[in-house]
Structure 1
Amino acid sequence: MTAEAIAATLQHDILSGTLSPGTELVQSELAARFQVSRIPIRDALMLLSVEGVVTVTPNRGARVIQLSPSEVQEIFDMRVLLEGDCLRRAIPYMQQADFERIEHVLRRSNLEVQTEGWAEGDWNFHLALYSPSGRKHQIVMIEKLRRRCQLHIAAYRTLPEETLQWIRDHELIMKHCRNKETEAAVDALKRHLSEAGKTLVRAMPTS
């Protein structure tokens, strides 16, 4: 089994909440699980470190990242800035084909809100919104920040319980985009992200 395949499996476990924030990732245990030597395990952990979901400390091993409430709030503040800017840049370039793609992923996302695929569906919707901006590097940054939030959302079971509001938010953002109401769309997105951040922070232990 390759390091890439191991990393993909572990990332799924992390983002789905199977491996919770702060979980120690012991190389010998992982090697036994995947029936490989420690070398591909070490490489897989380094790949996950680059993705920002694992911290690797020399001579101390690796752990799933564990953020404090203030750190989660900081990430959501960054997301509001980056994602709001990306959407503002995208709307002027949205054409009929873009709206059809966004509506398609929105319908699919709405069907997945109470399934294990909710996070992927949510990201696909936001990615479809931002892609017309052409801001590839900015979108990569957004995706990494979202992953850090997602593993905590999965651990504390927050947003999947807010599905009706989540669907309404997405549909409102889409409506404003189609009408080329840029500032209204950006404001709706920022409120959507800010409320998600507040919901997660409230669910997290304070110590």
Structure 2
Amino acid sequence: MAFAPSPIPSRTQYVLEAVKHAILTGQLPPGRALVEAELAAKFGVSKTPVREALKTLAGTGLVVMSEYKGATVRTVDATMAREVYDVRLLLEPEALRRTIARRASLEDAGQALARADAAADQAERSLANREFHRALYLPCGNPLLARMLDEVRDQAALVSTVAWSADPSWRHEADEHREILRLARAGDAEGAAGALHHHIASFVRRAFPAEDPDGAQ
């Protein structure tokens, strides 16, 4: 008999979401030490929910736990970016094909795109872009496939946060998002999947030119 996982206590969830947001918006940059006592004081909680939140974030790949250094925000390099984007290249275009084949609603993707266009800052834009991609693969009809993509979603957002800090290329990527959505709404599964593959591959190529997810050096 399977048992549902225990819900995360509210204080832990609060700390988890706050720290995650700070990481994914660049307020806590890669390599920054995450000191339990400092975070506990900042959020007005004991160190226990902070410790549990950091363990959960380590499980998602946003935080690195070390016996000697404690917890730090994960550092992004070309190897890490390639690993994350390789998974996306393998799974995300196929998920989009299935979403289109099922004639699933793309309304959420359109709304996310509009929020990204209207974003007041990079933080809002990054979060909206994450929702855009998720809205394309979530209705694919295979919950396991969607969960696998969810597992790399935060790490992909961390890569894009670091890349944008060096080269704010979001306007170019927004144009690519619009073209992907146009093709998807037209029912062109192969065209949309191809455009999505190009979008993912070209982003990591631009951001980390030493490593090419398609294998070129």
Same fold (TM over 0.5): yes
Change (3 A) 1:196 1:117: same
Q: CA deviation at 1:202?
A: 4.2
- Of 77, 94, 97, 1:68 maps to 77
The answer as to 2:170 corresponding to 1:163 is: yes
Structure 2, gaps ≥5 residues long: 1-9, 212-217
Quick check: 1:82–1:142 contact (8 Å CA) kept in 2?
yes
Quick check: 1:20–1:64 contact (8 Å CA) kept in 2?
yes
Structure 1: which 4+ aligned runs deviate by more than 6 Å?
A: none
Following the alignment from structure 2 to structure 1, what is the Cα–Cα distance between the partners of residues 156 and 133?
15
Following the alignment from structure 2 to structure 1, what is the Cα–Cα distance between the partners of residues 148 and 166?
21
Could you state the TM-score of these two structures normalised by the residue count of structure 1?
A: 0.86
**What's the secondary structure of 2:123's corresponding residue?**
coil
Structure 1, gaps ≥5 residues long: none
Could you state the TM-score of these two structures normalised by the residue count of structure 2?
A: 0.82
Quick check: 1:82–1:138 contact (8 Å CA) kept in 2?
yes
Following the alignment from structure 2 to structure 1, what is the Cα–Cα distance between the partners of residues 126 and 108?
18
Following the alignment from structure 1 to structure 2, what is the Cα–Cα distance between the partners of residues 113 and 73?
30
**What's the secondary structure of 2:192's corresponding residue?**
helix
Following the alignment from structure 1 to structure 2, what is the Cα–Cα distance between the partners of residues 160 and 144?
26
Q: Which residues in structure 2 correspond to 1:107-146 (within 5 Å)? A: 107-112=114-119, 114-146=121-153
**What's the secondary structure of 2:72's corresponding residue?**
strand
Instruction: Describe the superposition over 1:22-55 as per-residue Cα deviations: whole angstroms up to 9, x where unpaired.
Output: 1111122222222332212211111211222112
The answer as to 2:210 corresponding to 1:198 is: no
Instruction: Describe the superposition over 1:109-150 as per-residue Cα deviations: whole angstroms up to 9, x where unpaired.
Output: 322285421122112222222222122232232233231132
Instruction: Describe the superposition over 1:145-192 as per-residue Cα deviations: whole angstroms up to 9, x where unpaired.
Output: 231132233234259722332122112111211222111111100000
Change (3 A) 1:33 1:100: closer
The answer as to 2:48 corresponding to 1:39 is: yes
* Root mean square deviation, CA, Å: 2.4
Q: CA deviation at 1:65?
A: 1.1
Quick check: 1:21–1:152 contact (8 Å CA) kept in 2?
no
Q: Which has the higher helix share?
A: 1
What residue is the counterpart of 1:105 in the other structure?
112
Following the alignment from structure 1 to structure 2, what is the Cα–Cα distance between the partners of residues 94 and 155?
35
Letter in 2 for 1:9: A
Q: CA deviation at 1:104?
A: 3.1
Following the alignment from structure 1 to structure 2, what is the Cα–Cα distance between the partners of residues 115 and 71?
22
Quick check: 1:158–1:200 contact (8 Å CA) kept in 2?
no
- Of 177, 184, 191, 2:191 maps to 184
Instruction: Describe the superposition over 1:5-31 as per-residue Cα deviations: whole angstroms up to 9, x where unpaired.
Output: 111111111111111111111122222
State the percentage of identical aligned residues. 29
The answer as to 2:89 corresponding to 1:80 is: yes
